[in-house]
Amino acid sequence: MTLQEYDYARESPSKLAASCLLLALTMKNLGGWSPTLEYYSGYRGQDLHPLVKKLNFLLTYQPHDKLKAVRTKYSHKVFFEVAKVTPMDMLKLEEKLKSC
């Protein structure tokens, strides 16, 4: 979804991928940013927090009237229906990010 937004073009692809992973881990309650992830990604969890919040905001306020192809594609069972996952409440996300 970030490929369709100019705001994310200036972000490093590796930082964007790491932030997406941290958001997914947080949304699914699979833990936080571990020392292993920090070592192999090169990013500290705290450095990813602003981008994670921005990504969650993108999911929350996604315009539904245009660019539906990506959402339709990832709503299919083959892709585990990830487009149907409900975004996190911003306050809950903030709390979880503080704990990791």
**Stretch 18-26: mean pLDDT, rounded?**
95
Domain range list for the chain: 2-99
pLDDT tens, 24-78?
A: 999 989 988 999 999 999 999 999 999 999 999 988 876 666 677 888 898 999 9
Please tell me the predicted confidence (pLDDT) of residue 62. 67
Please tell me the predicted confidence (pLDDT) of residue 63. 62
Task: Output 63 or 80, whichever has higher pLDDT.
Answer: 80
Please tell me the predicted confidence (pLDDT) of residue 64. 61
Q: Say if CB 23 and CB 94 are below 8 A apart.
A: no
Q: Which CATH number fits domain 2-99: 3.40.50.800, 1.10.443.10, 3.20.20.80, 1.10.472.10?
A: 1.10.472.10
pTM score = 0.84
Please tell me the predicted confidence (pLDDT) of residue 59. 86
HEC string of 73-88 equals HCCCHHHCCHHHCCCC
* pLDDT at position 100 over 80: no
CA dist., res. 7 & res. 97, Å (int) = 22
* pLDDT at position 23 over 90: yes
